[in-house]
């Protein structure tokens, strides 16, 4: 079974930066989109950013201008560069991949923004 593995989370001060990475455990064909979601304590999981196989990108309004998503579909890898982090960005960040309508989720990476 294919797995998505996130890395790069951690603790950072407000205004700092982190880069999250997500890679598939093996090659996956027919992926139409990869993206990042996050879930803060007591809140629902929400979209952060998506990049399609055609390089169309969508961002949540709350992260526009601060976060950048990029992907390599040949390597089934997606990245999230997070700059100017705020305490409200604290959450578990999950990557996912849409393969022919089936959504594959990673296990999550904790990001804590605190002084």
Question: pLDDT tens digits for 59-112?
Answer: 999 999 999 999 988 888 999 999 999 999 999 999 999 988 899 999 999 999
Is the per-residue pLDDT at 28 higher than 80? no
The mean of the pLDDT values for the chain is 94
How far apart are alpha carbons 19 and 69 in whole angstroms? 10
DSSP string, the chain: ---EEEE--EEE-TT--EEEEEEESS---SEEEEEEEEE-TTS--EEEEEEETT--EEE-GGGTTTEEEEEETTTTEEEEEE-S--GGG-EEEEEEEEETTEEEEB--EEEEE--
Higher pLDDT, 75 or 18: 18
């Amino acid at each position: 079974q294919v797995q998505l593995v996130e890395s790069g989370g951690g603790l950072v001060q407000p205004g700092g930066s982190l880069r999250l990475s997500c890679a598939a455990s093996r090659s996956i064909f027919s992926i139409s989109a990869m993206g990042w979601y996050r879930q803060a304590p007591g809140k629902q999981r929400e979209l952060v950013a998506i990049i399609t196989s055609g390089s169309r990108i969508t961002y949540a309004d709350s992260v526009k201008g601060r976060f950048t998503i990029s992907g390599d579909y040949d390597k089934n890898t997606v990245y999230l560069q997070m700059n100017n982090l705020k305490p409200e960005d604290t959450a578990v960040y999950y990557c996912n991949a849409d393969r022919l309508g089936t959504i594959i989720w990673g296990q999550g990476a904790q990001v804590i923004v605190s002084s």
